[in-house]
Every structure is written in C-alpha cells, then in structure tokens.
A and B are shown apart, each in its own frame.
Chain A
C-alpha cells in the first residue's frame, strides 16, 4: 500500500511500547533501521489493521497519550494510513492525542451516581483540580453503580495502574495507585470484593451467581471443584447440533437488551458455508446503570471462558474475541488470567479436552465508546476501524467480523448456556434466571438474580428502598421510567408496560432527585456517545439536549406547560425521527427515557 507518513519520530518509550505488543519490526519499510538488504528487496507489508486498537492502548497505557510520532510508528508497523489511524484514535475517549498527566481521574456523573450525590463529588474534584479536561474528566457510567458515587483513576506506566474510588465520598485521595491485578487476588486498588456487589452471595438456589463470592476467581481448580467444565463435557456428548437444539429449546434470548433468540443466532451462524466463523463476546457493558457483566467477569471469569468455548464448538468458530470495555481494569485482569490459565491447562488452544476442538480467545479492550457495544460497531472496533455501526442487512450471522459469519453474544447470555447444558433445557426453562442491576435509592444495591416473572415490587422488597420512591428507570438510559411497581419482570411484561427489560437496569429514583437534571444527563449522554455517522442521531441528540435545556430553564410552577409547547412538540418530532430513521439502537432509543419521563412523570408540567 502506498501510505503517506508524517515522518514524526516516536520516542524510545513509545517505540518500546509498540514493539512489546507487536515484536521488533521486520524491515526498514516496517519502521526498523535501514539495512542494505532492505534497499534491494522488500516483501509486501500486509495491513494488520485489527491490531490498531491494541497498539494505541499500548502507547496510551505506557505514556498516557499518543503523540504524532507514536501514531506514525504504529501506522508503519501495521500498514495503516495515518489519517485513518488518527480518525480511530480520536474516536475513543480514553485516548488523548495531546500531552496530559500520566494519571487521569474519571469521575462518574452518570445516572446512578447522580442519583447518589455524584454532583457533589464532581464539584469537590473541580475545586481541587480545576476545570475538567486534562488531569480529570467527567465520565459516563463506570459500572460501579452499587457503590455510587464512583470515580476511577488510570495511571500510565509499566505496568499501567488503576484505582477505584467507590463510594467516592469526601476521602477522594490522589495517592499513586498500585498496579492492576498483580496481587494474588488480581485486585485493583480501592476496589471492594466482588461479593459486596452481590447481596445474595452464598445463598442457596442461585444459578448464574452461585460461584460469585464463594469461588476463588483466580483459581481454575476452584472453578472445577464448583462444577466448572461439566457443561463443556456435556456439550461434547451432545455434539454441535445437539448443543444448538438444547439452546433453542431453552428459549434463551439475548440479555444485552435486544432479546434475540440465542439458539436461532447460533443455528444461523453454524449453517453458513462461508468460513471461518467468528465468536464475539460483547463485554462492552456501558449502558448507564448496568454492572452485571462486570460482576460475572470479576467473580466467575472461568464461567465465561467455558461458555465461549461451548458457543464456539456449537457454531464452528476457531477464534473468539472477548471485547471488554476499557473502564473495567479488574475484570480485564481476571479474564486475562483465566484465559491464560485455561490455555495452559489445555482448555483453550488445540485439541481441547482431547476432543479435537481448536478454539482460542483473544481479549480486546475497548477505549471508552458506548456505541462499541452495538453488535456491528463492535466488529468495526475490533477490526481497527472507528466504532461505527454498520447497516443491516447483511446481519452478523452472514457477514460479521472481518466479513465472515459471526455469532455475537452478551456475557450474561453466554453464561446462561452453562445451566442449560448442565440441567437440560426443560429444567432450565422451569426456573429461568435473570440478573438485575439495582442501584439508586435502595438499601442494598447490587446484582440480583431472580427467576423470570418476579414483579418489580418483589425485587424492591428484597433490596429495600430509601426515601420516597418516585419512579424506577428500567433498562438504563435507553430504557424508560415506570411508576407501576406491579410490573412482572419479564420481556413481555415490561413491554406491555411500555418499558423494556433492556440490560436489567433497575434504577430507583426517590423524591430527592432532580428529574430535570437527570433527563439532561441522559440527553447529554446520547449526544456525547452518538458516533455521528447518521444524521437523525447526530443532529437529533443535539436538538433533544438543547430543547431540554430550554424547557428546564423556563419551568416555573405557577405556569402549567401546555402540550403544544413548541419545545415539547419539537422533542416528540425529533424523537420520532431518531426512532424511525437512525441506523442503530443508540439513536432509535435516545428519546425513550425522556419521552416516558414527560408522559408518565409529567416532568415539564
């Protein structure tokens, strides 16, 4: 390829960071020193575009930001046009193309934290560190909602370090954090034991959460002693078609929010004549208020490795990508450890369990982009493109990752396969488990496992509420506010109530929460996270936020707002356009929560 480089030189440290990931350069044309042989013969450098995101991480992790020289060097090593690499690097919020301190604090200002005083934390941080932008940032949901308000410090270095502040109350220290996951328990400084996020931990009758808090997440032996890898053995007995049949019969549907039948997805992928097939585990858990996948990955990482192996076996994939969000340092460390251990023990790699199955998992980190959780944006992100969703069709089962048939499943969806195989589809269906992420005005926030059919009231009875419950946000920022607590927590029940189960977010709002501010935060979130690719979403999310600002400023209790208020009319029109015409779910759902708040809670009455 003929690329135009900027001829900026990388520093030794940047070069070392990239070489540590990619190995030394093969020739002068690849970024190495000029030898006489290089000037006489050269083989074509194949583009390794899909290594772009890991290479950007490598530099950002070690140096804290990505200089022009570093970007140029990455592009030479990977045979990627620098202009495109720049477009990718600037797509992600965790990367900086400008110099900045090695340590950067991310202060969550999202829904769950706002409902628990996140605004105070933000203000205190600003008083101490000045305006946001370099040493600290306002952050979308960090997935630490059960301990809200939360903050996360990331520090570049060798190795990079992280520190969790949750709850980030008065004691937000700025000490240097310890390295991630180098302790025996693969912990991150400041992070509470994962069991603290699971109030039910250790109780009998749990299915998905039964090992969380009771089994050592670093120990494969402990996992096997607690029933691990019996599902994979069962899968080998059933054969790939048998596994798909069980999953179809179980009626399992996707837990990421779209509720598509998992068995049908697997079946369609398995049948594709085009090869290779790819498996992608979507662990880019970024829906505000959602943290269930984090809890599974931190508390029971081998379950995900085993479940991915089964999915790969059923659908004929030799390679799986585990795409985890960049703000999850502890889950990343634990999964890296679990994958390495499984590989060392012959549970990944060639001839797994002596059954002739070849499968391996590559862990890829996101870099701060909500949209990359969209099932096709995740492909672009892994491939080293900007994480923009693709138009469908073709659907991922036909042309997904690298244009090949791909099965993409959420973490919770995948771990559900284990009980389906262990118990059989029928027994599983009789008590189908579902995880809920409960946060906000409750006494015992955390991840709860219920069987389908439990009502919202029953769930809140378990968690206990604080203050006067005014509304519950179901499904996160893309979900809807409800006031009826007798809604059965099923896909159908929530749909009938004009809401969605979504990713299982249950955010309880009491009367101390400023709803207008909350709606503004939702609007700001979508405006910020819109990838900008399609017009309805790019323009609509901005117009929505502007209209909400105007409405919030003008509200006065003495003047009841009429339904034909121009801004309300505009909001509905823009919202409907986004819903009808956006390429992906982000734009299609960006108006949901605001609409429900206006209609059901009368926020602007």
Chain B
C-alpha cells in the first residue's frame, strides 16, 4: 500500500478520535465529544469543521429548552474512511511482520 494513500484528514489524532467515537455512537453532542477528547471548545470546533467539510460527519444544531445543542453524526463516507484507515494500519503492521 502506498504511503500517500493514507487519509491525512483522519490521521490527525483529534479528528481520528472524533471519527472513532462517532463510529460506535448513533450521534454525540459537542459537549460529549469535548469531554471524551479532553480538548477545548475552539480546538474541537476547528477539527470538527474540517471533518464536516470533507463530509465525513454531519452537524445538526438545535435547542434543548433554551440551550443550544450541537449534535454530530458519522456519514457513510466517514465510516468508509475510518475502515480504510484501519485497513491501512493493519496492512502496515502485516507488512512489517512479513519482512
């Protein structure tokens, strides 16, 4: 497998974390993700936006009472990207063992 086939977008730790967490949840709120990733509002927003632009995740904004709520979901493209990334990592490990 070529090194440039690696999906740089989800290779970054925080983005990889967001995609991994969403892969096992129907949806996660902004605050859930923030707690899970132990990061700041700004950092999470920036990385979530990048994933959103790549259409790996979707973002829904709503109100829960008077409180705004941001909910993230993984798209099919995002799930496929994670699967490809996992395959890539496993291929790297396999290739080293076979050497």
**Pairing of A with B:** no
Interface residues of B (CB under 8 A from A): none
